[in-house]
Amino acid sequence: MLPVEGGSVARARSRSITWLITGATVVAISIFAFSRNSPSVPTPAISNPPTAAIGPAPSTSALEPVQDLEGPYAVARVVDGDTIHVQTPSGDVTVRLIGIDTPETVAPGRPVGCYGPESSAEVRRLLDGRSVYLEPDSSQDSVDKYGRTLAYVWLTPTDSVNLDLVADGFASEYLYRTPYHHHDAFVAAQASAQAAGLGMWSACG
C-alpha cells in the first residue's frame, strides 16, 4: 500500500493560494499607483450655444406706402431745401414741403443759414430732372400764406423726400399750429438724426 502524501499536497496548495493572493495584491497596488500618478484627462467643457445678439428695435420712422398720390409731376425748379416748383397739367405750382424746415438761403434781407446750402444741394441732387408725386394733408391748409401748395413730396409711393431730408440731417422737423398726418414719424426721424450727429446736427452745433 502506497504512502499517503496528503500533508505535502495541502502545503503545496496553501503556498499556491498565498502566491495568488500576493500577486493580486501587487497588481492592485500597481494599478492604484498608476492611476494616482497618471495625468488626468480633462473633461471637455460643455459650453452653451451663443445667444443671438438682440439688435436695435426696427425704426418706427418709416412711412406706410401711400396709394392716393397726385402726379407724377416733373420738377421744374428747386428753390431751396423745403420749396420746389413742379409742372402740372394746370401749370407751374410752387410746393412747400410739409413737416420740415431748412435753413434759409434765398430769403431777401436774411443771412444764409448754417447748412442751408447743403440742404438745397441735397434736394437738387434728389429731384433735378426727376418727376415726383404729391400728397396733400387734410389736417393742414391746402396753401400757406405765400400761396404755396402744402404737400408731402414722394419719389415713389414708398420714398418720402420730406422724411428722407429729416432722417439724414438736412432738415429739421417743423410743426405749424396743427400736428400733420406723419408728425410722429418725422419726430422719430429727427431724434435719430440728432443722436447720430447727422448733417446739420453736427455741423451747426
DSSP 180: -
Is position 96 annotated as part of the catalytic site? yes
Contact partners, residue 165, CB within 8 Å, separation at least 6: 81, 82, 97, 100, 102, 119, 122, 123, 171
Whether 104 is a known active-site residue: answer: yes
Q: Which of 15, 36, 77, 104 is catalytic?
A: 104
C-alpha distance across the termini of the chain, in Å = 129
- Residues paired with 86 in a beta bridge: 75, 93
Q: Which of 122, 135, 148, 173 is catalytic?
A: 148
Catalytic residue among 13, 36, 77, 96: 96
For the question of residue 177 being annotated catalytic, the response is no
Catalytic residues: 96, 104, 148
